[in-house]
A and B are shown apart, each in its own frame.
Chain A
Amino acid sequence: MKTVTAEHLIKSYNKGEVRALDDLSIDVTEGTVLGVLGPNGAGKTTTVRVLATLLKPDSGSAHVAGIDVIKHPDKVREVIGLSGQYAAVDETLTGWDNLVMFGRLYHLGKQESINRANDLLERFSLTESARRTIKSYSGGMRRRLDLAASLIVQPKVLFLDEPTTGLDPRGRMEMWGVIEELVTGGVTVLLTTQYLEEADQLADEIAVIDHGKVIARGTSDVLKRQVGGERLEITVENSEVVKVQEIVARISAHAPHIEGRTVSAPVSTGSTALIEALRALDEVSIHPLDIGLKRPSLDDVFLSLTGHVAEETVSQPVKRKRGGKR
């Protein structure tokens, strides 16, 4: 069952000069998390805004929980939760005020709105700051409150647009925890991110988008395989590099790549290759500083799919940490 489907979405700006969405099709299976991965300007926010009824596409169609987004936006709004790229809460009010207000706007009764607000504040560890105005909240607290606001009525589908952008590592870990917990609750999630490791961590399936198009799609494993298999990677002392090069060449049957003291080459036999390598090294009494099978990172995926690294395609000063993952 597909809970979210979008077909051939096109949206252009500036009289067609900028194609934010260029025939984009996407779908999310019920109860799963789709990670929409792409650099800044790829069209992630535009996609989310179309699906969350905030923006009408120039053409194409989209359904959420079986409801046509363009024809029945009001009905769609009753089943979705949205946590946008910028925390959409009233800065001048307290966390509690915000949640109660949103509860009332979801047409919950007064007492119900209050109970729900208290529950959510508790669940997102915001009870202590519930009575402070949002102005005094940290970035992570704002995002958590924003997420809480999108969960006031149990949504069937949750849209999270770059939920951790701008958070420090601790805030990011907390947010990941919160999202993972949500997902076990069974909600269908479409999550966008610029962080390759985030998609890997949270998503069941990943759609890589660039310039308003889906350029690859699959589980993180499938995507990695698409880029190429595993590599055997051995780091040794400088004096041993030449010997190790021979060993690796024998196991891999490919010419090894040498970078500093690290020798690597693609292998197809997985852990067998690793054992072989360890034996061979032991025979010549070489004790490697590091040895392992390296699977390609999603960074590598992006590079091989687009021919460029996952960098901003629009000039915006966004600081990114490259996600090298072991």
Chain B
Amino acid sequence: MKHLLSDSIVITKRQILQLARIPELLIFSTIQPVMFVLLFRFVFGGSIQTSQPGGYVQLLMPGIFVQTVAFTLAATASGLAQDMTKGLIDRFRSLPISRGALVIGRTFGDALLNILVLAVMAAAGFAVGWRPTSGFTRVALGFLFLFSFGYALSWIGIYVGLVVRDARVVQNVGFLVTFPMTFLSNAFAPTTGMPRALQYVAEWNPVSSMVAACRQLFGLKNEFGATATSWPSQHPLETSLLYIIILMAIFIPLSVRKYANSSS
């Protein structure tokens, strides 16, 4: 136990080193979100009507931040599954390292990657007209929310990676979770257009809460959200925080236990 943190950091460093050895990996993982910003801004931006001062891009950016962070889930899962299948895991297990360092280290690495990607996206957003109006502290708080949400999701990713194990399958499972999650929400368009049943799903979707929370923190009206007067849409900050805590409380112990038992 006394080496848990230092062992985890070695694993995190490994991930950073991987990025340094294969720079293409880093380039592509930052190009993708930038591409999303540009696509949504210029392809949909023109056709979605909003009374928001500053236009659609103000509403879009929080949505796209949350979406990108949600994709961490798939990245974490497939990275871990790759380690599990390539025999490398056997070496890690035969080393006198702390149980859990391998998975904890990976979540740290993905968290660092998230920071980088969020920074690149913020810059891209700024370039296409995104201007949060709420002042530095609240904007920073918004990013802290995004970061924490990403961290919680990477623990789901760990669990998926441990359960599914096959890296290619994991990739698909990851998308199967994240795509409906991000689109069945208020991230890109008003939920009012959805069938009634889906509206409720969207309303309680953690992604919606996160997007609404970010919009609030960035000084926007949550135009795409509140159709019902449900609790989550009334209290996006509290709901998001609650979701983050619940996800971590469930998936951290679950994953650590799964990892410890996954030898046989």
A contact set with B: CB distance below 8 Å:
49, 52-56, 74, 77-78, 80, 82, 84-94, 97, 101-102, 104-107, 133, 146, 149-150
Contacts and interface: CB of A to CB of B under 8 A. Distances in A.
Contacts of B95: 77, 102, 105-106
A105 B21 contact: no
A105 B263 CA distance: 19
Interface stretch (B10-18, B142-150, B170-178): B10-18
A53 B94 contact: yes
Interface in B123-151: none
13 contacts: A53-B94, A77-B94, A82-B94, A84-B91, A85-B87, A86-B87, A97-B21, A101-B13, A101-B17, A105-B7, A105-B92, A106-B96, A107-B6
Contact of B94 (A54, A91, A97, A104): A54
Contacts of B263: 54-56
B14 A101 contact: yes
Nearest to A161: B90
A225 B89 CA distance: 42
B86 interface: yes
Interface residues of B, number: 24
A107 B6 CA distance: 9
Contacts of B22: 92, 133
Contact of A89 (B3, B6, B88, B96): B88
B264 interface: yes
Nearest to B87: A86
B115 interface: no
A94 B96 CA distance: 22
A53 B260 CA distance: 12
A78 B96 contact: yes
B68 to A, nearest CB: 23
B14 A93 contact: yes
Contacts of B21: 92-94, 97, 133
Contact of B96 (A86, A92, A97, A107): A107
A102 B97 CA distance: 10
A49 B10 CA distance: 25
B101 to A, nearest CB: 8
B93 interface: yes
A300 B7 CA distance: 50
Contacts of A90: 14, 18, 88
Contact of B10 (A53, A91, A101, A149): A101
Given A88-B89, A105-B92, A107-B3, 4 more contacts: A54-B90, A82-B91, A88-B90, A90-B18
Interface string B221-264: 00000000000000000000000000000000000000000011
